[in-house]
Amino acid sequence: MKIIDRLKEDKIHISFEVFPPKTDAGFEKVIAATDAMAKLNPAFISVTYGAGGGTSKNTAKIASHIKDDLGVVSLAHLTCASSTIEEVRDVIENLKENGIENILALRGDIPEGMPFPNGNRFRYAYELIEEIRKHGDFCIGAACYPEGHVENEHKAEDIRYLKQKVDSGVDFLTTQMFFDNDIHYNFLYRIREAGINVPVLPGIMPMTSEKQMKRSQELSGTVFPRRFLALLDRFGSSAAAMEQAGIAYATDQIIDLLSNGVNNIHIYTMNKPHVAAAIMNNLSEIIKA
């Protein structure tokens, strides 16, 4: 099933994300986490793509397992910065052969020390999107950044590039994590004004540890509101308390989004099925309403 068809349904959809193991030794652990999340009845489960191709070989394998063995719609991430054009084409063909209908097209991080761009790689995500469109009838998702992409100085420029991506053949967008819903609502207003009308899934990250928070801020430059920083200051020294508080904060974000008519939510679960289960338990009756 194509994700865009699911998103068009007039109901609430909650989806999860998992990432492949860094080494083959961790494969079974990731599969166990994925199996546990599938029991929570998500709208779909996305599988990330390893930087530098290191874990990308398992993306299609896990996405196929989700679709074929668990009966859940799967979304395979595909990045292009770390791969040659031919390597990208091989991955697309592999996804097609495995019956994967949904791809999240991303430029991805540039590997440290690698000259970029060069003539044998796609420079921008929109080029990857155009390439995917040539090779099959895929449902294509892309990323967007409510607080602006770290490489773009001005938000207007960021939205112009986003529209270029969408016009290249994007069916839906998923946002980078954010912790202030007003940022998301403002972002939606600005992109709709720019003529971007595809579904947008807010990406919610349950922040369950101080280390995770610092790492996320380094990678994305996201802004933590005072309310969240107070939570961290009060509970950050206790792993159990911080996890519980982080789950509560993410749940509160989701409830606010749902209350304001946002029916499709994507949760960055960090391969933690117990966190996903806790959030779904908090939403059990809300989802039915």
Q: What is the pLDDT of residues 111-145, one digit of tens each?
A: 777 776 677 889 899 999 999 999 999 999 999 99
- Picking from 222, 232, 229, 221, the residue whose alpha carbon sits closest to that of residue 178 is 222
d(CA 249, CA 241): 12
More confident residue, 117 or 63: 63
Mean pLDDT of the chain: 91
Tally of CB atoms within 10 A around 169: 17
Q: What positions carry a catalytic annotation? A: 17
Q: Is residue 59 a contact partner of residue 76, using CB atoms and an 8 Å limit?
A: yes
Q: Is residue 80 a contact partner of residue 103, using CB atoms and an 8 Å limit?
A: no
Picking from 46-55, 62-71, 219-228, which range would have the lowest pLDDT averaged per residue? 46-55
d(CA 37, CA 60): 18
Picking from 48-57, 87-96, 137-146, 274-283, which range would have the lowest pLDDT averaged per residue? 48-57
The Cβ-side half-sphere exposure at 95, using a 13 Å CA radius, reads: 29
Q: Is residue 78 a contact partner of residue 103, using CB atoms and an 8 Å limit?
A: yes
| Tens digit of each residue's pLDDT (9 = 90 or more) over 7-16 | 999 999 999 9
Amino acid at 53: G
More confident residue, 239 or 153: 239
Res 222 pLDDT > 70: yes
Tally: H helices and E strands in the chain: 12, 9
Res 152 pLDDT > 60: no
Burial classification of residue 279, based on how many CB atoms lie within 10 Å of its CB (0-12 exposed, 13-18 middle, 19 or more buried): buried
| Tens digit of each residue's pLDDT (9 = 90 or more) over 182-199 | 999 999 999 999 999 999
Q: Is residue 91 a contact partner of residue 126, using CB atoms and an 8 Å limit?
A: no
- Picking from 201, 208, 211, the residue whose alpha carbon sits closest to that of residue 272 is 208
**Three-state secondary-structure class, residue 91:** helix
d(CA 254, CA 181): 9
- Give the chain's radius of gyration (CA, Å): 18
Q: How many residues does the chain have?
A: 289
- Picking from 231, 208, 205, the residue whose alpha carbon sits closest to that of residue 220 is 205
Res 76 pLDDT > 70: yes
In Å, how far are 19, 57, 70, 98, 214 from 60, measured between CA atoms?
A: 11, 7, 14, 7, 30
pLDDT confidence band for 55 (50 / 70 / 90): low
d(CA 170, CA 263): 19
* β pairing state of 139-144 and 45-47: unpaired
Classify domain 3-288 at the CATH topology level: TIM Barrel (3.20.20)
Res 65 pLDDT > 60: yes
Domain segments of the chain: what residues? Answer: 3-288
d(CA 257, CA 251): 10
Q: Is residue 95 a contact partner of residue 132, using CB atoms and an 8 Å limit?
A: no
Mean pLDDT on 96-109: 94
